[in-house]
Amino acid sequence: MSYWVARVSDVSTDELRQAAFGDAPVVPVGAPRSPRAKLLTAIVLGAQGRYAGAASLLGEVAKGRDPVLAALALSAFASHRRQLGGHRAAFGPDGAALRLVAGLSGHAEPDGIDAAGARADALLGLAADNLGVGRLAVARRLLARVRAESWRSQVRRGWVTAEIELADGQARAAVAPAEAALGLATASGALRHVVKSQLVLAAALGATGERERAVHLVDEALGVSDKYALRSLGWPAGLLAAEHGSDLYGRDRFRVDAVLHAVLLRSDPEGRRLARDSPWVPV
């Protein structure tokens, strides 16, 4: 794996936006100072599986005065807990995020770093939390409440919709929302979101028997995950590769073990415990 670090002296808003939601998912050199900068930096750290560092920054933002940024920080932290298999642990921060932005409105931003985006993140997070503990009916009801105004909210709604359909045994119904998410992420130039969309679509296609395209999508996702050290996506990609590819020599499972080892080294103690106890994470 190679790990790129942008060679800059200061962290600019544009650089952080590109890192979190654009085509350069790397952490620029320099300490983030503003709450927004800390939030965006933490999002990229989480994508790289650097959960301890992300949690520290998100905790600062969650305690701040801006309810929208605080809610987004709580939802991001909950997402990182889910990535470690801690769906039950994510309920608290997702619920707190939703309470913070209940009834709020304000200026809309393209990436959904606004009240509507924070509300969508919280509802989608709660839907994913319930999905993870087997409450599909509740997950569907929460999903129905989402008003996805930004491209990012629409992409994330597509993921959760597809994941609910897959969990409900409706693989063919999962393909369309996964395809839509991939198309929108690609059009938006959001590399991380493209990779995640590829994996969701590959899971749906694999479940319908379209193995060839599923393998192609996983291979592309693995290449980008390796290039940018997106470890939070690298180990699920490895599992899908092992499931749908030949993996004659166990190379994909070895990759999963190696990436997860790196993730756990960079996680806080509670995150490591959640991963060890989770049925979703093959620790």
114 within some domain: yes
- Count structural domains, the chain: 1
Query: For residue 214, what is the domain's CATH number?
Result: 1.25.40.10
205 within some domain: yes
220 within some domain: yes
User: Quick check: helix, strand or coil at residue 83?
Assistant: helix
pLDDT for residue 246: 62
Label residue 63 exposed, middle or buried (CB < 10 Å: 0-12, 13-18, 19+): exposed
Below-70 pLDDT ranges, the chain:
1-11, 246-249
User: Which residue in this structure is represented by tokens 């969990």?
Assistant: 167
136 within some domain: yes
86 within some domain: yes
55 within some domain: yes
7 within some domain: no
CB-CB neighbours of 243 under 10 Å: 16
186 within some domain: yes
Residue 240: give the domain boundaries.
Answer: 16-277
pLDDT for residue 123: 98
